[in-house]
Amino acid sequence: MKGRKPELKAVDGGLSRFPPAPSWLPDEAKAEWKRVTPGLKQRQTLTKEDLPVLEAYCLAAGTIRRMQQVIAVEGDMVTNDKGDQKRHPAFQTLFQSLTEFRRLAAELGLSPASRNKALSANGGNDDLADLDL
């Protein structure tokens, strides 16, 4: 999707509590859920209807980690039946997951640019204001 992303703002009905990560998520995805939900909770930009987007984001993050582990163990290249070297098939899954991860992170306000838009829309809560920078 091209163009300008909408500003993220606290919404009526925004979640101030999040359920635990769904049991069906892989461990790596559950770790991402635990990592990002405190910030999402604080900003209250998501409603319960948005939880499937968060699930998809965490799933993409977990898939990225798993594919990178596979490549780290098995190597960047594999040999096919004809003896030719080719890129490991896990790269395709890795790249697709990275694309989806970036897109969903922006929608959830988890990228620096989307987070800055949300902060400026909410009065610019500056964590570094007391450092006289």
Contacts of 110 (CB under 8 A, 6+ apart): 36, 39, 40, 57, 104
Mean pLDDT for the stretch of residues 30-57: 93
Predicted local confidence at residue 133, as pLDDT? 42
Predicted local confidence at residue 13, as pLDDT? 73
Q: Helix, strand or coil for residue 86?
A: strand
Predicted local confidence at residue 132, as pLDDT? 47
Mean pLDDT for the stretch of residues 74-102: 95
- Cα–Cα distance measured from residue 76 to residue 71, given in angstroms and rounded to the nearest whole number: 6
Question: Cα-flanking dihedrals φ and ψ of residue 50, to 5°?
Answer: -90, -10
Mean pLDDT for the stretch of residues 13-17: 82
User: Is the pLDDT confidence value at 6 over 80?
Assistant: no
Domain boundaries in the chain?
Answer: 27-115
Residue 33: alpha-carbon gap to chain centroid: 9
User: Is the pLDDT confidence value at 129 over 60?
Assistant: no
How far from 13 is each of 37, 75, 125, CA to CA, in Å? Answer: 16, 47, 21
